[in-house]
Amino acid sequence: MLASDFLSIRNIRTRNSALRAMAALLAGCIALSGLTPAVAGPGCKPALTIRDVRFSPTQPETMERRWTALVSVDASACAASSGRFDILFSRLKENAPDMDFVERFTWKPGLMEVSVDFWADEAVDGYWLSHVAACPCRE
């Protein structure tokens, strides 16, 4: 047997071993992904309401103004004391295309204030709660 034959056989064995290891890893991931929902159980979500929305006057030194809102959080169904939520904004600008963007916040039970800074030539056309993360349910 030549040295080149030995090297090609060794390369084939190494490649086959790597393929078997990847297949086993993939099978394990698939098996575990099927267990995750059963272990986690159904989730709850807090009830969030946006109210008392306002814009501050433009600050001359920064040429910015602040959009502020109060968010009422009813987390009575949740065992967690905080979680994530997103607000989707539709922004208008005088000399640029309109744009949608998302800001992420952390909720806490009760009434909380959230804010986002805008330039003086920007306005909020609309805003929506776009994602409220599930929380573990209170037993």
> What integer pLDDT is reported at residue 139 of this predicted model?
76
Q: What is the 3-state secondary structure (H, E, C) of 6-32?
A: HHHHHHHHHHHHHHHHHHHHHHHHHHH
Q: What is the overall mean pLDDT for the chain?
A: 80
Residue 30's pLDDT is: 47
**Cα within 13 Å of Cα(107), Cβ side:** 29
Report the sign of the C-alpha dihedral through residues 75, 133, 127, 121, in that order.
positive
pLDDT in tens, 14-37: 554 544 545 444 444 444 444 444
The pTM (predicted TM-score) of the whole model is 0.66
Q: State whether CATH 2.60.40 applies to domain 47-132.
A: yes
Least confident window among 40-44, 71-75, 126-130: 40-44
Q: How far apart are CA 29 and CA 40, in angstroms?
A: 17
pLDDT band, residue 43 (cuts 50/70/90): confident
Domain boundaries, the chain: 1-40, 47-132
| Residue count (the chain) | 139
Q: Grade residue 121 by pLDDT with cuts at 50, 70 and 90.
A: very high
